[in-house]
Amino acid sequence: PVLQAADILLPRAHLVPVGKDNESHIEVTREIARRFNFLYGEFFKEPEPVISETSRLVGTDGNRKMSKSLDNCIYLSDSVKEVEARVRSMYTDPKRIRADIPGTVEGNPVFVYHDAFNTNAEEVEDLKQRYRTGNVGDVEVKKKLARAINELLEPIREKRSEFEKRPDYVKDVLREGTRRANEAAHKNMDEIITKMGLYKP
């Protein structure tokens, strides 16, 4: 947590995207900022956590959180066909062996993903209602989920394709970002040292 606090405070970040499980690290950072400001004068902003409504997704296998090492996730780099294959293999309600059997929506990974990625709320509610009453099969629910995810990923795929053709541009952006971050970090560190009355060799 202290190293994370340094990464947040040195550039004087005021908004920090984190998962719900890392919220306590932000509170440690806020406490360090408050203590420094009390002892040496106002300098740091107290960073606020930015937590997504869907801060953690269950893996496509339904058992654990989505993780690259477990290969139970959908990648931003996945093709249309890869997304379709991953969604087809997703875990659903194990008690539902036929489409005409009412199924459970709550905690069902396919519907968790629909809530997170399908922007058509009316369609999602219709699917949930039909699933609960045994009037829709897993195949249709998954097809609509794959379509929603692919629609979300399409602009990302297009940008990725553009950047793959311009590797020098990507490197230039990274270099410039690094230069600006270093410049800000050195400036802030100088001010911190001055405020604390420390000797700078």
Q: Give residue-wise pLDDT tens across range 89-135.
A: 999 998 898 999 999 999 999 999 999 999 999 999 999 999 999 99
Rg (CA), the chain: 23
Closest CA to 14 of 23, 3, 26: 26
Closest CA to 34 of 21, 24, 25, 47: 47
Q: Is this model's pTM higher than 0.85 or not?
A: no
- For 42-46, 67-71, 104-108, 163-167, which range has the lowest pLDDT when averaged over its residues? 67-71
Label residue 55 by pLDDT band (50, 70, 90). low
**pLDDT of residue 201 exceeding 70:** no
Class of domain 68-165: mainly alpha
Compute the distance between CA of residue 4 and CA of residue 28 in angstroms, rounded to an integer: 9
Compute the distance between CA of residue 61 and CA of residue 200 in angstroms, rounded to an integer: 54
For 53-75, what is the mean pLDDT?
A: 84
Amino acid at 66: M
State both tokens at 103: 């199924």
pLDDT at 108: 94
pLDDT at 65: 79
CATH topology of domain 1-53+167-196: Rossmann fold (3.40.50)
Compute the distance between CA of residue 2 and CA of residue 145 in angstroms, rounded to an integer: 40
State both tokens at 53: 């409504």
**pLDDT of residue 45 exceeding 70:** yes
**pLDDT of residue 12 exceeding 90:** yes
Domain limits, the chain: 1-53+167-196, 68-165
